[in-house]
Amino acid sequence: MGLAKQVDDWLLKQSLGKAGIETIFRDLCLRLTGIGVPIARARLNWPTLHPLFRAEMVKWHRDEDVGIEHFHHQDANTDAWQRSPLRYMVEADMPVLRRRLSGPGKLLDFAILEELAAAGYTDYIALKTEFSQPGAYSELQARGVIVIWASDRASGFTDEDLDILQEIQLTFALVCKTIIQSQIMTNIVETYLGRKAGRSVLDGNIRLGDGATTKALVWYSDLRDSTRLTGTLDSDSFLKLLNDYFECATRPAIEAGGEVLAFIGDAVLVIFPLGDGPIDGPGITAEVQQAVAQSFALRDATNAARRERGLDLIEFGVGLNVGSVVFGNIGVPERLAFTVIGSTVTEVERIEKLTKTVETNVLASAEVAALSPGDWVSVGTHALNGVERRMELFTSRRNASASAATPVRAVS
C-alpha cells in the first residue's frame, strides 16, 4: 500500500468519527511528517456561517500545539487579506499555488512569503478544494477549504512529497466538509435557540411535547416606552435602538451563565438552570445581581453615547423569579418553539411590569430573595395581573430607593 493511500484510508475513517477538525488536522500533520513529508508549518482555512466570524483557520507548527483563529466579519477587507496569496488563488480560481522560498527558483511575490523565507522556510504549497456549503459567499470567498503546507528542509518538498499532499487533498476536503457543515448547523441552531435549547434539539428532542421540568432562576426584561418609540422612530432607527437595548439587557446575563431563550418583541427571557442538586443561593444571586448591575451600567454608557448623537435613550426593567419551569417544545409539529413555560415564567413577566409602579429597575420574588436574604429589601406585597396570589416583592439592596411605593424593610 502506498504512503498516500495509507493516509487517505486513515482520513476516511476520521470522517465517520467524532473528532474535531483541529484534532484531525494535527494528527494529519503528524502522520505526514511520520512518513517523511517535511512539513514544518501548516494552515487550514475555510469560510463559515456564524454571526461573529466570516472564516476560521487551524494553525499547526512542528513541536507546537494546534490552535484555531477566527476572522470577524468587520475584518473582511484587511490589508493582509488584500495582499494574501489565498486571495489571489480565489480570484484567479487557482487550485494550486507553489512557491520556492529559497534557492535558484525562489519567488517571493507576496508579503507572507517574504516573512516565511525570513523565518527559515524553504518551500510553500497551497491547495484549494471547493465544495458546496451553506451561506452566501462573495466571489472572493470561495466555498471549501484551502490547505497550506510549508517546509524548512534545505531542499524543500520533493516531487513525491507534492504528489502525496495533492493525492490526499480531496479526501481531506471531504472530511472537512462533513465537520464544517455539522459545525455550521450547530452554530445556527445555538444562535437562534440558545446553547442549551440548541443542544437539546440536536440531541433529538424535536417532537411536539418533548421536554422536561427543571428548576431555574428566570430573568425577564422589557423595554420601556416602546409604544411611543415605535410610533416616532423609523424602522431602521428603532431596530438599532432595540439591538442596543438587547446588548445591555442580555450581554451581562449571558456572561453570568444565563441562557437567552427568547426575544419576545422588545422583551427578553433568560434562564439560569439550577439543576436538581443543592442550590448555592448566595452564589447564584450574587452572580445575577452583579449581572443586573452591569446591565444598567451598560445602559448608562450606551445612553451617554446615544445622547451625544441626539438619539432616544433606553430604559428597561428586570424581573427575577425562581421556580420549576417546563423546558421543551411547544407549537405544532410543523413549527416548534423550544422555550420555557409555567407559572414561574408568567409571574416573572408580571413582576417586571411592576418595576415602573414601584419605581425601581429590578424586582424579585420572595423565592429569589430567600436565596440570599441579606441582599434584598422588601417593597411590599402586590397583586400581579393574571396571578391569583398576591406576592411580596423585593429589590436588590443596592437598588433600594427611598421613593419605593411602600416603606422598605430588610428581609429577616
Q: Do 340 and 348 form a contact (C-beta atoms < 8 A)?
A: no
Supply 249's cell numbers.
439587557
Sign of CA dihedral 383, 387, 388, 389: negative
Domain match, 318 and 393 both: yes
List the Cα angle 221/191/219 in 5-degree steps. 20
Domain match, 111 and 233 both: no
Measure the CA–CA gap between 74 and 89, rounded to whole angstroms.
22
Give residue 140's pLDDT.
44
Tell me how far CA of residue 62 lies from CA of 163, 228, 238, in angstroms.
Answer: 21, 61, 52
Domain match, 348 and 308 both: yes
Domain match, 95 and 76 both: yes
Residue 21's CATH number: 3.30.450.40
Tell me how far CA of residue 385 lies from CA of 294, 324, 352, in angstroms.
Answer: 29, 20, 11
Domain match, 213 and 172 both: no
Helix (H, G, I), strand (E, B) or coil at 192: helix
Query: β-strand 211-223 against 41-47: which pairing, if any?
Result: unpaired
* Spacing of C-alpha 392 from chain mean position: 37
> Looking at 192, 222, 252, which one is the last position of a domain?
192
* Spacing of C-alpha 83 from chain mean position: 29
Domain match, 176 and 217 both: no
Among 366, 364, 363, 324, residue whose Cα is nearest residue 216: 324
Domain match, 181 and 200 both: no
Helix (H, G, I), strand (E, B) or coil at 280: coil
Q: Do 41 and 196 form a contact (C-beta atoms < 8 A)?
A: no
Domain match, 375 and 288 both: yes
Domain match, 185 and 258 both: no
Measure the CA–CA gap between 376 and 75, rounded to whole angstroms.
45
> Looking at 123, 157, 192, which one is the last position of a domain?
192
Q: Which amino acid is at 279?
A: I
Domain match, 227 and 214 both: yes
Domain match, 163 and 221 both: no
CB atoms within 10 A of CB 380: 16
The residue behind cell 444565563 is 258
Residue 219's CATH number: 3.30.70.1230
SS3 per-residue string spanning 54-80: EEEEEEEECCCCCEEEEEEHHHCCCHH
pTM of the predicted protein model = 0.67
- Give the residue numbers spanning the domain of 401: 195-410
Q: Which amino acid is at 41?
A: R
Supply 199's cell numbers.
443542544
> Looking at 192, 210, 237, which one is the last position of a domain?
192
The residue behind cell 494546534 is 66
Give residue 406's pLDDT.
39
Q: Walk along the chain (412 residues) and give the pLDDT tens digit of each residue.
A: 588 888 989 998 888 888 889 999 999 999 999 999 999 999 999 888 777 778 899 999 998 889 998 887 766 667 777 788 988 898 888 999 999 999 988 999 999 999 999 999 999 999 999 987 666 554 445 678 999 999 999 999 999 999 999 999 999 999 999 888 888 877 777 777 667 666 766 766 666 667 677 888 999 999 998 889 988 999 999 999 999 999 999 999 999 989 888 888 889 999 888 866 666 667 788 889 899 999 999 999 999 999 999 999 999 999 999 988 887 777 787 776 777 788 889 899 999 999 988 889 999 999 999 988 888 999 999 988 878 788 899 998 876 543 333 343 334 3
How much of the chain is helix, strand and coil, in % rounded to 5? Answer: 40, 25, 30
Domain match, 184 and 201 both: no
Supply 203's cell numbers.
440531541
CB contact burial 292-307 (16+ within 10 A = b; e otherwise)? bbbbbebbeebbeebe
Give residue 276's pLDDT.
64
If one counts the domains in the chain, the total is: 2
